[in-house]
Every structure is written in structure tokens, then in C-alpha cells.
Amino acid sequence: MFVVRPARPADLDGLMSLAEKTGTGLTTLPAHKPFLQQKIEESQTAFSSDLSEAEKQSYLLVLEDMETGYICGTSALIVGIGLDKPFYSYRILHQTQLSHEPQKRVDTELLQLSNDFLGAVEIATLFIDPDYRRHKLGKLLSKARYMLMAAHMERFPDAVISELRGWVDKNHQSPFWDAIGRHFFGMDFAAADDINGRGNSQFISDLMPKFPIYTALLPESARSVIGRPHDSTIPAKTLLEKEGFRFSGAVDIFDGGPLMEVHKRGIWTCRKSVEGRLSGTVEGEGQDPTHLVANPSLEGFRVVLSNLVEGSEGVWLPHLAATALDVSVGSTLIYSPVDRIKGDTDKDLSDQKATNTGAAS
């Protein structure tokens, strides 16, 4: 049985081991122990704090193999990006110029440095150990964040974004960075990415060009990767699109990766999440789990993949799932399908058997 739960201090070594496997580009999970320790502490504060719209908060989750205790993945929600330091991106602008003599039309694309996503919540830091990329564990780790949002919708801003890793070559070199950033920062991509990953975005403000950049002046190698995700993040992009995310028209200033966006009420898992009570448990674990099931309490938040049976007075779970969630008969649960059901059009959610937790703010 695998469970997603809030990170705690004892997970530091496990997170460090994961960070060492990420390679270049996952800036929110650098292999830097003091930074990871700080992220755990910030997450513990977020899970135990009152609401504050004026402060940035980070919720860090881990995927644990309950049989071995091994930390095999992590994901996060960062609330209030840009409140403590600027969150920069390149907004893609389009400009049309006309000439009447001679008759000519020129369509131009520009990159404008912007800070458009102030206060939004970022879906971040999704990484799973390559040895555990099986049995829907990636979906569990990714969608657990939406279950947290569904359980506590009032804690999260309306705008939700996700910044995907941009394309780099087999030597971890970014054509986008080489064409723009290298000229202004005087360092290679890996060094700049590492500095930014540790939370120092001030150097971006100090050194990045303030005027729009005409993409026509960039080499084809750079133009071709604007908005292109890294090959390894294509499955993550597909998952985001299935949840309702769409390309925002902005890209990362380091590697040109796409920024995806959605309104929190448009996230499929949030809209499909319903509340119920645990009526009882049955022996066994079940095969091919159909639902995400969560203990919705803030400090006791936990999510598992499980089958369930809806009854007239609540739901029934396998005993192992209830144990992993730390719930007992009578406890409140929220649950949502893992995958879309054939024929599901999302047009009418009124047939849900319990209150849609994604509709309350």
C-alpha cells in the first residue's frame, strides 16, 4: 500500500535521495539539504497555520511505500507565488505590421518579461523515483494535490498554474538559455537554474533585459523549443490537460518551458470530489483501484488509491486503505475517480451522491 501525506522532518534523507535523481531542470527540488529542510519546515507551518492571503505558503507532499517506509516521490502546492519575490516568465506577444507601399504584412512574435501570475497557486515539484513509475502511482502523487485543494478550497487562490520543464538536449544544455540568458548572466544553464531553484530570483530582476525580445532574431534552435516541454515531462503535461489545464501563453525565462493554467473550479478531480463517511471496511486490498480516497483533515491529510463501494449510509473501503488513511468507521472522507469514465461529459455534476467539495469556498 502506498500513501501520499505531508512531508515531515524524518523524510529529509529520503527527499535528498529523490533530488539527486532528478537531473537538471526541476528547480523546486534541488539536491541541497538545507533548502529541502527549509521546504519541509515551511510545509509543516502551512499545514498547521490559519489562512493568510498576504503570505506565501508551501504544501509539500511525499509518496511513501508503507511496507518499507521508502519515500518514492514528492509533489507540492505553492500558494501565493510572487508575494515574497517576483515570479518571472516570458509572455508571448504577437504584433502585426502593415506596409501599403509596397504592400506587405509582417507578423512578429515577441517575448516580454512579466510577473503576471502574482498570488496564484503553483502545482509544483512532481517527481517519482523511476523504479516506482507503475500501478498509477504517478497519478496518485499528482492528483493528491487536487484532493488537498478539494478538501480545503478556501485556502487556495482562483488561479492555478503549472510550470513544465523546458526542452534540453542529452547534455542538459538549453538552446533557449544559450540564445538569451547566457548573454546577460554570464553563466551556464545548470548554474543559473540551480540559483533560481534555491529561491534567489532577485538576480533575474537585476540582470534580465527589460525590453521585449523579437523571436525572429533568435536562432532556429531556440525558436523551436519555445513552449516545448522536456521529453520526460510530456506525460505530466498530458495529465494536466486531462485536469483542464491549458497553455497560458507564457514560458519559463530559463528554458522556454510552457506555463499551464486553469481556474481552481475547473480542475476535473476537484469537481468530481465528493464527501462521504466511512461505513465500514472489508478485508483485502482490491485490484485495479478506481478512486482516490483522502482523509481531508488538514494536519492528518492522507491520500490512497483504492476501490470503494457506495452504500446508503456511506462508503466501504478495504481495511488496508482505511488504515493507511488513519480513519475509522464514522470518519469523514473525500473521494474522486482516478480516471474519466467513458461517456463522462462533465456537463452535469448534480448526480453526485454527496456534497461536491470543490464547489464550496
Residue 343 lies in a domain: yes
Domain assignment present for residue 195? The answer is no
Q: Give the pLDDT confidence score for residue 338 in this predicted structure.
A: 94
Cβ neighbour number for residue 318 with a 10 Å cutoff: 22
Please indicate, yes or no, if residue 256 is contained in any of the structural domains: no
CA distance 216 to 76: 36
Residue 29 lies in a domain: no
Cell 496564484 -> residue = 120
pLDDT at position 355? 33
Q: Which grid cell is 223?
A: 525558436
Neighbours of 169 (CB within 10 A): 11
pLDDT (0 to 100) of residue 25:
54
- In a domain, residue 280? The reply is yes
CATH of residue 286's domain is: 2.40.40.20
Q: Cα–Cα distance between 2 and 153 in angstroms, integer?
A: 25
**pLDDT value of position 52:** 60
Contacts of residue 190, defined as CB under 8 A and 6 or more positions apart, other chains included, come to 24, 172
List of E strands, the chain = 2-6, 57-65, 70-79, 89-100, 103-114, 121-128, 159-163, 213-214, 246-251, 258-263, 274-282, 291-295, 302-306, 309-311, 314-318, 332-337
- Residue ranges making up the domain that contains 299: 268-359
Tally of structural domains, the chain? 1
- pLDDT at residue 82, as a whole number: 87
How far apart (Å, rounded) are the C-alpha atoms in residues 235 and 243? 13
| 45 located within any domain | no
Between helices 12-19 and 33-48, what is the axis angle to 10°? 130
Per-10-residue mean pLDDT, the chain, length 361: 96 94 71 91 92 79 96 95 87 91 90 92 91 90 96 95 91 90 84 69 73 94 95 88 96 93 96 95 81 95 95 91 95 94 53 36 28
Query: Catalytic pick from 230, 263, 291, 319?
Result: 230
On whether residue 95 sits in a domain, the answer given is no
Q: How far is Cα 160 from Cα 50, in angstroms, rounded to an integer?
A: 20
Q: Model-level pTM?
A: 0.86
SS3 286: coil
Within a domain: 336: yes
183 is catalytic: no
